[in-house]
Structure 1
Amino acid sequence: MPRSKLSPALLIPLLLNLAVTTTAQAAPLPVSDAQRATAERVAQAGVPLSELAANAPETYAVKTGDTLWDISQLFLKSPWRWPELWGMNREQIANPHLIYPGQILMLVKQDGMARLQLAQEFGQAGAGSGGTGAAAKLSPRIRASDNLLAAIAAIPLNLIEPFLNDAVVFDTDALAKAPRIVAAPEGRVNLSNGDIAYARGDFSQASDYRVFRNTQPLRDPTTQEILGYEARYLGTAELTRPGEQRTDAKGKTEIVPSTLKIKTVRQEIGVGDRLAPVLQRSFLRYVPHAPSKNIAGQIVSIYGDGLNAGQNQIVALNRGSQDGLERGHVLALWQKGRTAVDRTGERKEEIQLPDEKHGVLFVFQTYSRVSYALIISVQEPVRAGDRFSQP
């Protein structure tokens, strides 16, 4: 079909989907049936003006460093309600994960409803450069596969990237039987980049390894049941020479440990630390969305051994994939109501004030019974035992 006869509205989704399927480095970008249904419903009529943020802009130019959360927060009262944002732009942005710096979003209000349209793409001359004019005709072009990875993320990935493969929770204390560092050259206590380490164990699975401190149990704040074992990430090492058992001239068995070279150090590495194969890094994009069913739980611990946590810190939750939590879930943080004394009556009475919502969590990693979440916003310090719920 000649290009002049294929409308941009049809061509853009085609090219976006082509970019996804032909990019070797990008992982599939999942969109659930429920999320797609929400977007389709909103696309037909838009969203009520009452659902818009108080200062929603008429136009917005997507910038490098923006996140889907940032943009949703500009236009909507609840930033995790990304399907509404996607649905408002359903015809032109077919995949919510693929929004790029340089695109200009225009808010259109009509008959008490609002939609979001793409006014301009990639800095082309037209409506976006002159203000709030009519939506410009799009001139889509195939993106290089490298540009696919430049699509904006849901939240600041630099805050959680170190935890995607570094913080690990085991259902059982698997590291207790994992290979371990048994010696260092010249009796050194701590190992640095480039140092040699000697280790024993089964190294047949891989040549690149992550180094962990011995695991710590994660216990449910209420029941004290062990939900999993958290392994603190220390760095990486490369196997340079496998170990062996040999017999000397006198018939005595000699145990020769494997030799590894320390490649990176996040925290101090020493004798007794455990090794596990390096995992394939994930390029999954995290899309904010509310849980589809009611869910509630508690903070198990603050990552990094802190007594309390604030914005942009990581916490472990006592709910996991078997409880229905998944990557991208947005949760509300609650502060326990304090005990007060009512002095207004005939006699003083102790009363319990209600719990209050005071923050937002974003789940980015799930295990069977435990999850990790980023504190997106919070008003008061977060402590182990604090509770969370659906937003």
Structure 2
Amino acid sequence: MRSKLIGLAACCSLALAAFAVQAQAQLKHGHPASYTVQRGDTLWSIAARFLDKPWLWPELWQRNPQVQDPHRIYPGDTLSLETSFASPVPQLRLEPGIRTEAAPIPAIPLDELQTFLKDVRIDDIETVRHAAYVVALEQQHMGASAGEKLYVRGLQTLPGQHWAIVRPTHLIRGFDQDASGRVHSKKGHPLDADARMVRTDWSEDAREDGHLLRGREVGVELDVVGTAEALAGGDPASLLLQSSSEEVVPGDRVIPVDNMAYDPVYYPHPARQAIPGAQVIALSDALAAVGRNQVVAISIGRLDGADNGQTWSVFHPGARIHDPVRGGSITLPREFSGHLMIFRTFAHVSYALIMDGTAPITLNDELQPPE
């Protein structure tokens, strides 16, 4: 995952969208009567501060009609926290906050998410293994940039067709548990970590190599490095590289352009039931932990019941410690770490945004419905 998408300034605004709230929000003990919006706030972050269930931020919005568009709240706006959130939405008595010259706090434009919406894809390994690939570049160069020719093998194309140039970066593998809950590799070796799914560096071999992390291949993460237009068919076919985020090199794959439309806003809603094996499998540009406004990959996708806007609670597994009195070992209770919201799904993997947190979120943290 690329670094340019990390630390998005207002990521939580992704979740701002209007919809009717059936559940009832509860205010945290000791809440103030009102709150003045500060620079960098979103309704989610305010709700996380004052509500027991921050994904119910639309109820906060409904009770403050001076906020006509939740995608545009302003520093200086005053939000009421006085009315009972256990009662029906009352007639609002609020005065709008003083409008200053400060710019509104907008929702995130989609181009700020393009690395995970457009520049990264996940395909199954057989698709990647059999995809057309760049075999050579114009004048036998080592790398190609926009305006140069590519020669591609295995591509059925007509002149004028457009293609995406992608580079495999990581292989995602899944593992099965035995009756005791231990996770094993395909060779039967128990894994050291409590991983049900892992993301490892891609290699062209990608076959059985004796490594303990060998498991069933769930998918391959691909970086989209360019787009090209076919000049002539054949084997190899000739393509003109039209744009590139980095140099295209021999071995890069050539696949259809992804023309899927992406959600302009996201409707946050809690996951309704647990999905076995749901956990964090990759961190965005971090080795150990991530926090609010950062992106993670999780081990569930649309075929598992994941969908855009789905909100999960994240728990860190309890540590295994020695019992100093009775002897032996004991597992401590798991610890709540925060909430995340899914914003892009694949078959068995999704990308999610960390919406709030009380502790760093790490690899193998477990996901549970927030209720």
TM over 0.5: yes
Q: CA deviation at 1:164?
A: 0.9
The aligned counterpart of 2:136 is 183
Q: CA deviation at 1:172?
A: 5.7
Q: For residues 255 and 323 of structure 2, what CA distance do their matches in structure 1 show?
A: 57
The aligned counterpart of 1:318 is 299
Q: Is the 8 A contact 2:128 2:220 kept in 1?
A: no
The aligned counterpart of 1:242 is 232
C-alpha RMSD of matched pairs (Å): 3.9
Find the partner of 1:109 among 82, 87, 107: 82
> Looking at both structures, which has the greater relative contact order when contacts are Cα pairs under 8 Å and sequence separation is at least 6?
2
The aligned counterpart of 1:214 is 168
Letter in 1 for 2:296: V
Letter in 2 for 1:330: T
Q: Per-residue displacement from partner, 1:176-226 (whole Å, max 9, x unpaired)?
A: 333321111232223334443222312349744322123754222445664
1:258 maps onto 2:238 in alignment: yes
The aligned counterpart of 1:230 is 220
SS in 2 for 1:271: coil
C-alpha change, 1:156 and 1:78, in structure 2 (3 Å) is farther
Q: Is the 8 A contact 1:296 1:387 kept in 2?
A: no
Q: Is the 8 A contact 2:21 2:59 kept in 1?
A: no
Q: For residues 319 and 238 of structure 2, what CA distance do their matches in structure 1 show?
A: 56
Q: For residues 108 and 85 of structure 1, what CA distance do their matches in structure 2 show?
A: 8
The aligned counterpart of 1:386 is 365
Query: TM-score when scaled to structure 1?
Result: 0.64
The aligned counterpart of 2:97 is 128
SS in 1 for 2:281: strand
Q: Per-residue displacement from partner, 1:37-68 (whole Å, max 9, x unpaired)?
A: 517xx5xxxx55xx2474556243586x6434
Q: Is the 8 A contact 2:67 2:73 kept in 1?
A: no
Q: Per-residue displacement from partner, 1:317-343 (whole Å, max 9, x unpaired)?
A: 222223222111222222222222222
C-alpha change, 1:256 and 1:278, in structure 2 (3 Å) is closer
Letter in 1 for 2:54: P
Letter in 2 for 1:100: R
Q: CA deviation at 1:274?
A: 0.8
Letter in 2 for 1:368: A
SS in 2 for 1:293: coil
Give the count of matched residue pairs. Answer: 309
C-alpha change, 1:85 and 1:172, in structure 2 (3 Å) is farther
Alignment of 1:347-366 (within 5 A): 348-366=327-345
The aligned counterpart of 1:192 is 145
Q: CA deviation at 1:242?
A: 2.2
Q: For residues 366 and 285 of structure 1, what CA distance do their matches in structure 2 show?
A: 15
SS in 2 for 1:80: helix
Q: For residues 270 and 21 of structure 2, what CA distance do their matches in structure 1 show?
A: 14
Find the partner of 2:72 among 97, 100, 107: 100
1:166 maps onto 2:119 in alignment: yes
Q: For residues 368 and 176 of structure 1, what CA distance do their matches in structure 2 show?
A: 18
Q: For residues 222 and 338 of structure 1, what CA distance do their matches in structure 2 show?
A: 22
Q: Is the 8 A contact 1:208 1:237 kept in 2?
A: yes
Q: Is the 8 A contact 1:221 1:299 kept in 2?
A: no
Query: TM-score when scaled to structure 2?
Result: 0.67
Higher helix share: 1
The aligned counterpart of 1:11 is none
Q: For residues 298 and 308 of structure 1, what CA distance do their matches in structure 2 show?
A: 19
Q: Per-residue displacement from partner, 1:4-24 (whole Å, max 9, x unpaired)?
A: xxxxxxxxxxxxxxxxxxxxx
Q: Is the 8 A contact 2:163 2:254 kept in 1?
A: yes
**Could you tell me the percent identity over the aligned residues?**
27
